[in-house]
Amino acid sequence: MVMPRINMKKFREILRLKLDVKLSNREIARALHMSPGAVSKYTRPFIANGFEWHQLQDLDDQAIEKMLYPTKHLHSKRELVQPDFIKIHKELKIKNVTLQLLWEEYYEIHREKAYGRTQFCKMYQQWRKKQNVSMRQTHKAGDKLFIDYAGSTVPVIDKDSGDIRYAQIFIAVMGASNYIFAEATWSQTMADWIGSHVRAFSFFGGVPALLVPDNLRSAIRKACRYEPETNATYAEMAAYYGTAVLPARPAKPKDKAKVEVSVQIISRWILARLRHMKFFSLLELNQIIAQLLANANFKAFKKLPGSRLSQFEEIDLPALKSLPVTPYVYAEFKKAAMGIDYHIEISGHYYSAPYQLAKEAVNVRYTEKTVEIFHKNKRVASHSRSYKKGGHTTVTTHMPMKHQKHMKWTPGRLLNWAQSVGPKTLDLTKALIEKKSHPEQAYRACLGLLNLSKQFGLERLEAACSRALFFQSPNRHHVVNILKKGLDKQPLPEEHHEFQQSRHENIRGPQYFSSTNQEHFKC
């Protein structure tokens, strides 16, 4: 059987979730909207060979692709050993026992005649439905963090204008202990959404295995019961913290029951207590929320021993993954096509990549401080972020050799050359450079101007520049016309003499067209 081809970026995510995050095939399948059987087929060769994620993450796509081999199931159903589903069902109630573990134990005993993992799970699910067993949702330690926004908002008054702005309330709750984090943000946009996650992880002191958000736009680009698509920035943040996103299914309230209950708790214990209070800053609001939240988490359960805090410290906290050394930096993503000048544009500024990628499709990741360009999952350029509109950030090695030679010129070198020709040539060269928003954009015109000295000589070039400046036309094209027509050899007209012989009250002198009278020409 030939292994179906798969997008390598998606395949890398499968390997990361399997080998690093340690998710089950079914959880990976739900997170990446594919079948559990496909996940099993793609990961089986790597698991069988004992690979760890750190051994694979730095390999390029071609190296990983060579390691994909198809597997075959040679046994017929009549030869396979039927699992003891009654025993399996009982064992699943034991803490930390999973269907994956039970299949592995079954496979070790009946290796030659064992069902595959996918078929094993399907058979168990079918058996359980026939038994009419009512299963209550159980959440394992450190497994899931349920996330949503409260329906209510809190008004915040601007001290200066008196305008009212409404703050959103972000809520995250741990599945096993019901420990709650909440904070106020100005919006539900991607920047605030990611920022709240970073602060939530810091509050919990670790990272859960799975994030279960509702299908809001900041988290899920395309909401779907079977194939939800996670936003690129949200997916990158999850990968940075070593966790995965498992969106709640639309029209499935049980998927987010935990956070719905927490929204009620926040509404009753916190928001209701704020209804008579006035806030003049987001910081002030969050300070009060933190105090009330501590009380809610510390409050003793009515029917169970302890509180949310004690349950969290006992159950969830030891199972959480460690936080990275530095928090995630918010990044945005963009698909772009390299221009013919091997630059891409981000917020009005242009950044270079190797010239061989001109007109190629690339992916761009940009933060407040950096811009990174990727081609086929490989980073090909990295720049410091610039906010200069119309500016260019160009790495010399990205340029063709002929362009690199051109870059050896600087404004100072060009002006020194112009000065050696004469003061009028220097003035015209300065005018060419100052006319452009970026000096490099004038280099070609300056070089073209100064190279005229090789054809016409230094004296003629200086005279032509003087004439072009006199007629207020400081450009290379005008200088070339002057030289070709020999006008540089003619004396310049005397401004006062021209108008002295033809003075009349209806004749306007050159002073009429000066900058002080430009307002007469405005419409």
Pairing verdict, β 361-366 and 349-352: unpaired
Q: Between residues 370 and 230, which one has the greater pLDDT?
A: 370
CA–CA separation, 145 and 247 (whole Å) = 11
Distance of CA 332 to the CA centre of its chain: 3
Residue whose C-alpha is closest to residue 107's, from 97, 99, 117: 117
What is the average pLDDT value for the chain, to the nearest integer?
79
User: Where do the domains of the chain lie?
Assistant: 8-131, 144-319, 332-402, 409-499
CA–CA separation, 234 and 330 (whole Å) = 9
CA–CA separation, 1 and 38 (whole Å) = 13
* Distance between first and last Cα of the chain: 77
Give the pLDDT mean for 292-318.
85
CA of 99: how far to CAs of 2, 83, 118, 267, in Å? 28, 12, 11, 38
Q: Which helix (H) or strand (E) holds 344?
A: strand 343-346
CA of 181: how far to CAs of 150, 241, 242, 318, in Å? 12, 18, 20, 18
Task: Tell me the pLDDT band of 228, cut-offs 50, 70 and 90.
Answer: very low
- Using the predicted structure, report yes or no on whether residue 388 has a pLDDT greater than 60: yes
**Mind listing the pLDDT tens digit for each residue in 442-485?**
777 788 888 888 889 999 999 989 988 888 888 888 999 989 98
Pull the structure tokens for residue 441.
Answer: 């954009």
Could you tell me which residues come within 8 angstroms of residue 257 by beta carbon, excluding any fewer than 6 positions away? 137
Q: Which amino acid is at 109?
A: I
Pairing verdict, β 244-245 and 210-213: parallel
Distance of CA 471 to the CA centre of its chain: 53
**Residue whose pair of structure tokens reads 């003075």 in the numeric block:** 503
**Mind listing the pLDDT tens digit for each residue in 58-68?**
777 777 777 76
Q: Which of 156-170, 182-196, 223-237 has the lowest mean pLDDT?
A: 223-237
CB 171 within 8 A of CB 270: no
Task: Tell me the pLDDT band of 138, cut-offs 50, 70 and 90.
Answer: low
Give the pLDDT mean for 114-140.
70
- Using the predicted structure, report yes or no on whether residue 369 has a pLDDT greater than 80: yes
**Mind listing the pLDDT tens digit for each residue in 507-523?**
344 444 444 444 433 33
Residue whose C-alpha is closest to residue 33's, from 290, 223, 216, 269: 223
Task: Tell me the pLDDT band of 262, cut-offs 50, 70 and 90.
Answer: low
Highest mean pLDDT among 14-18, 57-61, 129-133, 504-508: 14-18
Q: Which of 4-13, 109-118, 136-145, 463-472 has the lowest mean pLDDT?
A: 136-145
pLDDT in the model for residue 521: 34
Give the pLDDT mean for 430-435.
84
DSSP 8-state code for residue 475: S
Give the pLDDT mean for 232-237.
85
Give the pLDDT mean for 48-70.
75
Backbone angles phi, psi at 16, to 5 degrees: -65, -45
Distance of CA 511 to the CA centre of its chain: 57
Instruction: Identify the sign of the CA torsion 498, 502, 504, 506.
Output: negative
CA–CA separation, 279 and 286 (whole Å) = 10
pLDDT in the model for residue 504: 41
DSSP 8-state code for residue 497: H
Percent of the chain with pLDDT strictly greater than 90: 15
Residue burial 243-278, b: 16+ Cβ < 10 Å; e: rest = bbbbbbbeeeeebbebbbebbebbeebbbeebeeee
Give the global pTM: 0.51
Residues in the chain: 523
Backbone angles phi, psi at 246, to 5 degrees: -130, 85
**Mind listing the pLDDT tens digit for each residue in 191-213?**
899 999 999 999 999 999 988 88
pLDDT in the model for residue 323: 93
CA–CA separation, 425 and 72 (whole Å) = 80
Domain 144-319 in this protein, CATH class: alpha beta
Residue whose C-alpha is closest to residue 206's, from 175, 247, 178, 242: 242
Q: Between residues 315 and 515, which one has the greater pLDDT?
A: 315
pLDDT in the model for residue 259: 59
Task: Tell me the pLDDT band of 437, cut-offs 50, 70 and 90.
Answer: low
The secondary structure of 75-106, three-state, reads CCHHHCCCCCHHHHHHHCCCCCCCHHHHHHHH
Q: Which of 232-241, 247-256, 418-427 has the lowest mean pLDDT?
A: 247-256
The Cβ of residue 453 has, within 10 Å, a number of other Cβ atoms equal to 19
Task: Tell me the pLDDT band of 2, cut-offs 50, 70 and 90.
Answer: low
pLDDT in the model for residue 156: 92
pLDDT in the model for residue 320: 92
Using DSSP's 3-state secondary structure scheme, residue 108 falls into helix
pLDDT in the model for residue 503: 43
- Using the predicted structure, report yes or no on whether residue 375 has a pLDDT greater than 60: yes
Give the pLDDT mean for 235-259.
72
